[in-house]
Amino acid sequence: MLGIIASIIDGVLVGSVYGLAAMGLTLIWGVMNVVNLTHGAAIVAGMFALYLLTGGLGLEPYAALLPILIGGFLAGVGLYWIAVYRLIGRPPLMTLLSTFAVNLVIVGLGTAVWGTGLFNVPVSLPGVTWQRYTFSGTHIVAAVLTAVIAALLYLFLYHTRLGKAVRAVANNREAAELAGIPTTRVLALSFGLGVALAGAAGMLIATMFPFTVLAGDAYQLKSFVVTALGGLGNPAGALLGGVALGLVEGFAAQFMPVSWTLVIEFVLFVAVLIVFPRGVFAFRRT
Amino acid sequence: MIKARWLFAAAAIVLAPPAFAADDDTLTIGMTLSQTGPLNIDSLAQQRGAELWRDQVNDGGGIKAGDAHYKVRFVSYDDQSQGGRVQQLYTRLIVQDKAQFLFSPYSSGLCATAAVITEQYGKPMLITGGAEPKTYTLGNKYLVQVLSSADHYLTGAINALEAKAPHAKVAFVYSDDPFSKAVTLAAREQAKESGFTIVLDESYAPSTTDFSPIINKIISSSADALLGGGHYADGATLARQLYDQKADLKYVSLLVAPDSPEFASLGPAAFGITVPSQWEIQATYKPQFGPTGPEFVKAFEEKFKAPPDYHAATGYAGGALLQHAIEQASSIDADKVVAALNGMDVTTFFGHFRIATDPGHHGLQIGHEMVLAQWQKRNDQLQREVVWPKPAQTADLLYPLH
C-alpha cells in the first residue's frame, strides 16, 4: 500500500513536468492551429542547453532555467519565421510537414555532433524519505518550478495586455486583426513561448534522468496524450493532463507489469478522443 | 526522342557497376552499422574493432589463402538501428556490392533479421553483435556466433551472488526486447537452481524514461539483489534512479550499459554496479593467433584515443577468426571457410572460440566464457574491475553495496 502511495506521488511529480512540456505544444496549437512537430527537438535542445551551460560554463543546474527560457523563446521566434510564417492559413498538413522536416534537421545535426550516446547532468539534491521510499530532490524541485512557470504563464495570459492579445488571436484571428492587434507578431510570440516552455521542460527532465539526442520522441508522444487529456489549446488543461498521466503511470504500474503502462496510456488516449473529444479538462478555451 | 533518352538513362543505371568495384585480390566484407538511432554507441564500438582488424591485416599484406593474398575491403551502410533497413541493406550488400562475407549488425533483433537474408544467399556471417540463441535453432548453416550467447550472460552474476548470499531475494527487471528476455529466461532458472527467492519478475518497454514506479516495486519487494536491464539508455537511467531513490539494494547487475566507459558519467550512481562482460581489458588469455590483450588495447587506444570495450573486442575478434578460418581453408570459398570455422577450437585475446555444429544449434557459441565486472573506485577514479570468475579476478566483489 505504501508503495502504491509513493508511486502515485512520484507520478504526480514527474507528470507535472510532462504537463509543462505539453503546455508548449497546446499553446501553439491553440493560437495558430499548428501541430508543432519540432516539439520533441525543442525538449532535447533544453536538455543539451542544460548540459552545455552546466558543463561548459559551470552554471548551477537551476540557474540555467532563465537563460534556457530566453534562448528557447528567441529560437522559437526564429523558427516561426523560418518554418511556419509562410504557411499560416494553408492546409494544416503543410505546417505539419514543415515542422517535421525542421525536427529531422535538428535531430540529424544533434546526432552528428553528439551521437546517440547517453548524457547525464549530475544534480545533487537531497530527497525526502518516507518509510522505505525516497522522493528524489530533483523530482520535487522540477514539480515546484513547473508550478511557478505555469502560474507565471497564467498571469501573463490573463493579466497583461500582450497575454490578452494572445488569447484574442486564439479566439478569432480576423476579429483581433480588425481590433488593431498585430497578429503576425502575436503568432511569433506564441510560437516562441511554446518552444521556451518545451525547452524548460527538457531542462527539468534532464535534471531528473539521463538523456540522448533521440529522447525527444518519447516526450513528444507523451505531450500528445497529455494534450488530448487536457484539451487542445488549453494550457491549464495540459498541466492537469500531465499530472493525470503521471498519476496513471504510477498507479497502473503497481497492479500490472510495467511494460503495460504504454498500452494503458494509449488506450486512454483513444478513449479520451472518443468520449471527450475536447479533452477531459477542457473547461473552456483560454 | 525524350522516351529514348529516358530508356537510355534507365539502362545505364541498371548496367552500372557497383559503386565499389572489387578487384580479384580483394575480399569484400559487408555489414550494416547503426550510425544513427539508439544502437549507435555499441555499434560504433563494434565497427571500430572491425576497422582496426582490417587496417592491421591490410598493413600486413592481407589475408593469405593458399598462394593468394587478399586485401580486405569493407562495404557498410547505416541501418538506422532498424530491422526493416537491415533486410534491404544486407540484400544490397550481397547482390549489388558482391560481399563475400558478412559481419553482423549490432543487437540480437537486427542480427536475426540479417540472418534471414544471409542464409537465403548462402553467405557466411560472423555474429559479433547478437547474443540471443534462438536464431541458431532454425537450421541455419552459415551463421557463426563469436560471443557468448544470451543464456550465459548472467551466469557469472548469479554465481558471484551465490558465493556471498546463498539465500538472497532477487528481483528481475529487464527490457522487453529479444536479447534481454532471452538472458532473463535462462537466468531465472539458474537463480531457482541456486536457491534464490525470486520476489519480482517484470519487464519494461525499451522506451521507458521514468523508472520510479518500478523502483518502488523493487523496494516493496524487499529484494536484496537486482538482475536485469537491457541496453544503454534504459540501463543507465535505471542505475541513476536506483541511486536517486536510495533503493538500498545489496547487489545490482545490469546488462550492457555499465560496460560502456560513458557509464562513469553517472558518478556515484555507477559505483558498485556489476555488468556481465564478454571481455575486459584486464583479461589474460593466451592467444593462438592474433594480438594479445595488451597489444589489442594499445593499438585501439592509439587509433581511436579511447579504451576499447567488449563490443570493440568482439568486432576485432570476428575479423581475426574469419582470417584464421580463411588461412586454414586456404580458400575464400564460403563452404570451405564455414567448414574451417566449424572445426576451430581456438583461443584469441577475446577468449575461447568453439561453435556447435549439430544441425539443431549450428553456429551457436559454446566455447567462450563471460566475466563479471564491477564499477569500483581506484585512486578516487571510477573504473571497472573483474570480480568473477575467481581466476580472472582483479578485485574482490563489493558486497553489500551499502
- State how far the Cα of B153 lies from the Cα of B146, in Å rounded to an integer: 14
pLDDT > 70 in chain B, percent: 94
State whether B92 and B26 are in the same domain: yes
Residues B108 and B206 in one domain: no
pLDDT for the residue A173? 87
Residues of B with Cβ-Cβ distance to A114 under 8 angstroms = none
Cβ atoms of A266 and A225 within 8 Å: the answer is yes
- The verdict on residue A59 lying in a domain is yes
Domain-located, residue A280: no
Does the pLDDT of residue A72 top 90, yes or no?
Answer: yes
Nearest CA-CA partner of B341 in B329, B330, B359: B329
Residue B233 has pLDDT above 80, yes or no: yes
Of A227, A194, A233, the C-alpha closest to A41 is A194
Of the candidates A136, A215, A258, the beta carbon closest to that of B245 is on: A136
Residue A17 lies in a domain: yes
Q: Which tens digits make up the pLDDT trace of A221-241?
A: 889 989 888 877 778 888 888
Question: Per the CB < 8 Å rule, is A115 touching B44?
Answer: yes
**pLDDT grade for B347, boundaries at 50, 70 and 90:** very high
Query: Is the model's pLDDT at B38 over the cut of 90?
Result: no
Q: Does B204 touch chain A (CB under 8 A)?
A: yes
A120 touches chain B (CB under 8 A): yes
Biggest CA pair distance of chain B: 84
Is residue B305 assigned to a domain?
yes
Residues in chain A: 286
Edge-to-edge strand ranges of the sheet holding B63-65: B63-65, B68-78, B26-33, B101-103, B125-127, B143-145
Total number of domains in chain A: 1
Name the band, by pLDDT with cuts 50, 70 and 90, for residue B243: very high
d(CA B311, CA B39): 12
Q: What is the count of residue pairs from A and B with beta carbons less than 8 Å apart?
A: 123
CA–CA separation, A171 and A173 (whole Å): 7
Residue B165 CA to residue B158 CA, distance in Å, equals 10
**pLDDT of B317 over the 60 cut:** yes
Give percent of chain B above pLDDT 90.
73
**The three three-digit cell numbers of residue A14, written as one number:** 514527474
Which tops the pLDDT comparison, A7 or A205? A205
Name chain A contacts of B220, Cβ cutoff 8 Å: 2-3, 132
Q: B204 and A209: CB-CB below 8 Å?
A: no
Instruction: Examine the domain organization and report whether B195 and B166 are in the same domain.
Output: yes
Our CA-based measurement puts residue A32 at a distance from the nearest CA of chain B, in whole angstroms, of 30
Nearest to A118 among B209, B212, B233 (CB): B233
- The pLDDT assigned to A286 comes to 44
Residue at A283 is within a domain:
no
Interface pTM, i.e. ipTM: 0.86
How does pLDDT run across B364-382, given as a tens digit for each residue? 999 998 899 999 998 889 9
CA distance B159 to B314: 24
Give the pLDDT mean for B247-268: 91
CATH of the domain at A147: 1.10.3470
Question: In terms of pLDDT, which residue wins out, A71 or B150?
Answer: A71
Please state the φ and ψ torsions of residue A219, each to the nearest 5 degrees.
Answer: -75, -30
Pairing of strands B197-204, B381-388: unpaired
Asked if residue B64 is part of any domain, the answer here is yes
Average pLDDT (B172-189) is 92
Q: Across chain B, what does the average pLDDT equal?
A: 90
Lowest mean per-residue pLDDT among B58-67, B123-132, B281-290:
B281-290
Contact A7 B265 (CB under 8 A): no
Same domain, B43 and B73: yes
| Average model confidence (pLDDT) across chain A | 89
Summarize the confidence of residues B210-217 as an average pLDDT.
91
Q: Please say whether the beta carbons of A231 and A281 come within 8 A.
A: yes
Residue B219 sits in the same domain as residue B249: yes
pLDDT at B1: 45
pLDDT of residue A283: 55
Inside any domain, residue B4:
no
Average pLDDT (A84-104) is 90
Of residues A229 and B16, more confidence is placed in A229
Tell me the residue ranges of DSSP E strands in B24-168: 26-33, 63-65, 68-78, 101-103, 125-127, 143-145
For residue B146, the SS3 value is coil
Kindly state the average pLDDT of the residues B178-198: 92
| Residues B206 and B294 grouped into a single domain | no
Task: Specify the DSSP element, H or E, that contains B171.
Answer: strand B169-175
Q: How far is B362 from chain A (nearest CA, A)?
A: 33
Q: What is the mean pLDDT of residues B283-288?
A: 87
Q: Is residue A286 part of a domain?
A: no
Residues B144 and B156 in one domain: no
Which of A118, A248, A266 is the best mutation test for B, with the most CBs of B within 10 A? Answer: A118
One domain, residues B116 and B215: no
B19 pLDDT tier (thresholds 50, 70, 90) = very low
CATH of the domain at B31: 3.40.50.2300
For residues B163-169, average pLDDT? 94
State which residues form the domain around A210. 2-116+135-275
Please provide the size of chain B in residues. 402
* One domain, residues B205 and B142: no
Which pTM value belongs to this model? Answer: 0.82
Instruction: Give pLDDT, residue B400.
Output: 93
Q: Check residues A284 and B254 and name the one with the higher pLDDT.
A: B254
| Pairwise CA distance, residues A95 & A92, whole Å | 6
Q: Does B216 touch chain A (CB under 8 A)?
A: yes
The number of folded domains in chain B is 2
Q: Are residues B182 and B137 in the same domain?
A: no
* Residue B399 domain-assigned (yes or no): no
- Higher pLDDT, residue A258 or A274: A274
Residues of A in contact with B262 (CB under 8 A): 117-118
* β partners of residue B377: B382
Residue B162 lies in a domain: yes
pLDDT of residue B3: 54
Q: Output the pLDDT for position B23.
A: 58
Q: Report if residue A26 sits inside a domain.
A: yes
* pLDDT higher than 70, residue B11: no
- Structural domain of B218: 152-277+370-392
Specify the pLDDT at position B402. 75
B187 with B158: CB under 8 angstroms?
yes
> Looking at the domain assignment, is residue A126 inside a domain?
no
Residue A188 has pLDDT above 90, yes or no: yes
SS in 3 state form for B230-277? CCHHHHHHHHHHHHHCCCCCCEEEEECHHHCHHHHHHHHHCCCCEEEE
Structural domain includes residue B244: yes
Does residue B314 have a pLDDT over 80? yes
- Examine the domain organization and report whether B103 and B214 are in the same domain: no
CA A215 to chain B, closest CA, distance in angstroms equals 8
Grade residue A280 by pLDDT with cuts at 50, 70 and 90: confident
pLDDT above 70 (res B395):
yes
For the stretch A158-167, pLDDT in tens is 999 999 999 9
Per-residue pLDDT at A2: 77
Report the percentage of chain A scoring pLDDT > 90. 52
Asked if A210 and A50 touch (Cβ cutoff 8 Å), the reply is no
Phi and psi, residue A197, nearest 5°: -65, -40
**Same domain (yes/no): B298, B255:** no
Query: In this predicted model, what pLDDT tens digit does every residue of B92-133 receive, in sequence order?
Result: 999 999 999 999 999 888 999 999 999 999 999 999 998 888
DSSP per-residue codes, A213-271: GGGHHHHHHHHHHHHHHH-TT-HHHHHHHHHHHHHHHHHHTTTS-GGGHHHHHHHHHHH
Residues A122-161 have pLDDT tens digits of 888 888 988 889 899 999 999 999 999 999 999 999 999 9
* Residue B306 near chain A (CB below 8 Å): no
Q: Give residue B222's region: left, alpha or beta (phi > 0; psi -120 to 50).
A: left
